[in-house]
Structure 1
Amino acid sequence: MNTILVNTVLGKVENIDEILPQEFAVVAALKEEGVLAHLFIKEAMGGAVLVFNETDQDKVQKLLARLPLYKYFEKIEYTLLNQQF
């Protein structure tokens, strides 16, 4: 199964406590739509690692842009993975 792993680095967000509920609502919607398999939060709020059930990077970039914290990401890396077992 091919997936795309997205590794993000989060910059400074002044009102993170206000944005997080909105962020998790969008994440839940992506999970419900079946396009997001996993979300891992990095310790100390340094960003997140997301695993998408999608192999089209352009589509994943558009999905990621729906996240309220997207504009605060300092770095985003996309890696296409092929699950072997």
Structure 2
Amino acid sequence: MNTILVNSTLGKVEHIEEILPREFAVVTKWKEEGILAHLFIKEAAGGAVLVFNETDLAKVQALVSQLPLFPHFEKTEYTLLEKQF
């Protein structure tokens, strides 16, 4: 099964406490819809790692760009993975 891993690095965000509930609402919806397999928050709020069930890179990029924190990402890496076991 293939998957896409997204590794984001978050820059400085003013009023992050106001944005986080909206961010978590989006990723929770993706999880419920089966689009997102896992979400890992980096220590010290330095970003996140998302593992998508989706294998279409363009679709994943479009989804990630909809995240409320996306404008604050300093770096976003997309990696296509093929699960071996």
Does the alignment pair 1:52 with 2:59?
no
- Tell me how many residue pairs correspond in the alignment: 85
SS at match of 1:67: coil
Measure the CA separation in 2 of the matches of 1:78 and 1:68: 18
Q: TM-score, normalised by structure 2?
A: 0.98
Contiguous gaps of at least 5 residues in structure 2:
none
1:1-80 to structure 2, matched below 5 A, reads 1-80=1-80
Q: How far off is 1:54 after superposition?
A: 1.1
Aligned-residue identity in percent: 74
The TM-score, its normalising length taken from structure 1, stands at 0.98
Kindly report the root-mean-square deviation, in angstroms, between the aligned alpha carbons of the 2 structures. Answer: 0.5
Task: Work out the CA distance in 1 between the residues paired with 2:61 and 2:4.
Answer: 10
